[in-house]
Each structure stands twice: as C-alpha cells, then as structure tokens.
Structure 1
C-alpha cells in the first residue's frame, strides 16, 4: 500500500490540493472530552447541531464503521492582499477572505469526488469511499492534525509550517487500508498574536474558543439581535472575521491560492455599506449566487451591515439606517435604530 499512498499524494496534487495525509478513524481519542467541555461551557451558542451530532463528531468510526482509513486534504486560499486593510475604511464592509470568491464547498467537493474515483480504480474492486467538506459531523481539524498536515493553533484553526493557516479542508473516508502518517506537532511556542488581536476577546485561553464572542459566529451563525455590548466591537466586519488568521507569523510560508475561483470577486473586495444596506431579498440572492454568504439570507446580512454603519462614525450614512428602521425583520429594524442613534451622537 506504500506505493498506492505515494501515487495518492501525486494525484491529490494533480487535482489541486496542496497537502495530503492519512490517519485511522480512531486517531483522535482526545476529541470527545474536548468537545464535551466545549458544549458544557455553552461556548457553542446557538449551534445546536454540535450537541445533536456530538457522538459522530467525536468518533469518526461511528459515522461510518466500515472506514479503515481517512484521507485528509488541504487546499490553500491565501489572499493576494492584506485582509485587514479595510479596517481603515469604515464606510466599506469586510467580508471574510474565504467568502469573497466561489463557494469552496462546491470546488473542494468536486476535487474530492474525482480523487475518490481515482482511488477506487487504483485500490481495486470492492473499495468504498465517502467524501466530506464541512457539511457533516466530521472533526476535520483534529483529523488533519492526526494526518500530519498541520496543527490546531492557539486560535483553534489549523495551521502548517508549509501553508500557513489559510486552508480549506476535505476528507475521504475509505475502506482501503492505507498506511497512516505521523501526527503533526504544535509549533506555536510563546506567540500570542492571534489571541491578542481578537476584537472581542473570544479566546478564554490558548487553544480554546468561546464562539459566542467570535465575530465569525456572530455574523454568520447567530440569529436575531447581537448583544449591544458586542456590536461596537464588530467594526465593519459584515461576514466573518480574519483577524486571528491574518496575524499568524506562519503565514510567511503561505502559498497564494492556485484556484482562481477563490480569488476575491471585484464587488466584494471593498463593498460600500450604503449599497449593501439597500439589498432586498432578490438583489441579495442575485449578488451572492454561488457564494457561501447566500446561506445566511438577506435579513441577517443586512443586520450585519447596519451594525457596521453604526460603527462607521459617518453621519452621512444615518439616513440609510433610518430608512430601515421599520424593516419587516425585527433584527434588521433593531439594528437600523441602533445605528441611527449611534450616528446621531457621532
């Protein structure tokens, strides 16, 4: 199987992946206890599916008992510009780098399916596979660490000495017996860059995340109004947050994304808050067709935009907020009134 594994790595590279590693389904025995502690602390917020599927997420063998090997793949989406530059332009909205281009779920899954098909042909009759890209209860980051691709840094994201931390992950579960790789070791040292830069202090301790304070969670997963104490800390981040990723020193080794579909669409590099606030449902769907942003819907997105408008300090944007004060969605209307009040006092 060593020869098969070497050919697998070469084929993964040919498909566009930047790293490939293998582990066993039982390679992450530490995850159930870590996940239980996270859930017991309530740090998952409204993400109830983490509770409901905890047994599977903590035990890959339970997800598919027939699996004998897990192939983890990583693909770089490193941006070609400073993702924090727009913090100095409060009239513009900041969209997380991963969401500025084509939805990575679609791109990575197609690559995985092609690679899985190749594996079936190479490993022989009877080989079975299942592919996953962030849409099933799979602990991708711990599995990628177990497969030697990288380690979970103090910001809890995966990072690598070869790729930095701008990576998408995918998994192929297979019945084929493939020799596992040695797990990666942690190389964060005494660095605290990612912890110290967090605008909302979302890290209770290194390697721990309270999602309820994370801007990515608040702008994407959290339904309804955001706590007023946290709203000013969102700044002009309207979908996700890249601060902890952007400051990681290991990014000096990061590779620029090879996949053109991950490059930022022109209209999402520095979008005007005033324009985004005017989106109705149809315009929102049209603008974000093929984008992961589409998943949160117009109401949550415009809510985020209004928080950014309130944080802009630009009195010229007050009429935009006032115009949405009676929006049919309660969270949008609340955000609009909050933004208008802040700008009135600016």
Structure 2
C-alpha cells in the first residue's frame, strides 16, 4: 500500500499518518499539505514523505496520485464561522480542491477515502442523524461538504472510482489546536480550564454534540484503507454519544477534579442545536472498532495538553511526549513525539 494523505500535517491527518506507518501492509505514506492550518511539527519523528503544496495544483496532484494505491483526502478549509466570513475561499478549497483530487484519481483509480462533515444535516429535529435523511446545511461550510460528497459519489458511478465518504462529527484529541479563533470546543474548553479561565459557551449550553475521540476515528480510517472498504453513500463516522456543552463542562471538571466556571456568550450564526449520529451503517462496515468513551477521551486529551504545557519553556522549542492515539486505553499507548514552540499547543 502506497498512501497519499492530503492535509496530513493537520490534527486528524497527522494522527492517521502515525497509525499508518505502524502497519506492515503500508509500504509508504506521502503527505500533501499547504500548511495553511497544518504544522510539520505534528509529523516530527513519523516516517512519511512530506510535499508542501496545494490540492489545487493539478500537476502536483497528478504526480502524487499516480504513485499511490490509496488516497485519504483530509485537506479542507474547516470551520463554520470561517466559511461565513469567506464562503468563496471555503468553496475553492473544499469543492474545487476535492474535484481536483477526483480528477487526479480518475485514471489510475486508487482507493479514495474522503472527509465530509455532519454539518450537511443542518439543524434537523431527528434525534439521530442517519445517512438517508435529507440534507439541509445551514452554512457555506456545510454546503461545501455536501457538494464534495456529491462529486465523489458521481465519480464512483461515472468512472468506477472506489470511494468511501465519511461524515465526521465533533472529532477531538491530541494534536488539536486551541490557540486560534476557529478552535473546536473541546480544545478550547481544555485549554481554558488548565489556565484557570472560565470556558466560553455560545448560547445556553444545552446544544448537544456527538464528540468522537480521534483514536476511534483513526482506527476506522486505517481499517477502511487496509481492507479497501467502499460505499455508494456517505457513512457517519461517530458512535451516537450525545453530550451537551454543559455536560461536557461537568465531565471535564470531573477529569480535572475541580469545578469549572463558564462564560456565556451570544449564540453563533450557523451553529447547530443537536448533532448526534446514528452509527448503524458504520458498525455494519466496521464491526471490530470499539469507540473510546468521552470520559476516557477527555482524560487522554487533558494528559496530552498537560504534557505540552509542562514541557513548554519560556523561549525556543522543546520535545513534547504525545500519546499514540491509535491505541485504545485497554491496549496501552505507545509514545510518539513532535516539536512545539513556546505558547503553542499543536494542531
């Protein structure tokens, strides 16, 4: 297996690269990343070839895809608020960029895994979002992810391309950044709590999410690549665990062993009230994958942040111990490393 990972220097991408390089079936892993949000330090010590470039570069894509048996397409312009600020930029990367990837794959037809998003469902009232529900995205970001799904499935039908589109829900864990304006909720909460600040909650805190530990996501992605799993419809990559932001705050307080205060802010445009997956199709396709619980996932995430903070000097760089998130708590964690600058917590 020769695997190309687009966006491989980012949070999920770097974690999947770490896991792939431990598999005997994998001959090589190549990362394509423009480093607009990824960080090469996430890959420090990982045996991958890194190409700095854009998925919009047709010639570069053709060269890299041509030498690959598998492509895991994670490169994207993330964030609902960011898409509201600049929808054209979101479309260019997420839709046009995905179309470039599909075109590069059309001739050699490598196995292609794509990352879509639960945001395609919008704010539907059904308690669990299953893949046959009509989609109703509320933001340009959600619309861009729906478009990339449609293109991928059209290429599967038109050109016989073996594809597997996943709808990611709220993925969290080690290597996820907390130090930028569009940071996700769990790293934002963890960073604030560890620094003794109130956690910021937009709205009343009763909005709910299906938080999915990155190790569980990586286990599915690796299994899908190794066994070349395909699907003619998108697959939810979450396990149906519902948690409100208020209950998340309480769970984090339990992990830390102390109360956490909250600051309530106005609701954000485009935010979804309820997001919970039906995992039925996922479990059918990947019966051997066992999800990491929210409590265990928070413990490992907090441990990673604490190690990062402990090893950060006042200046320069240091080596930070990062748990191997592809291992579950029951199987033990191996150790990986990456460099971090003072004041940064990873991507």
- As a proportion of its length, which structure holds more strand? 2
Higher helix share: 1
| Bigger Rg, structure 1 or 2 | 1
Structure of greater relative contact order (alpha carbons < 8 Å, 6+ residues apart): 1
Give TM-score scaled by structure 1 length: 0.21
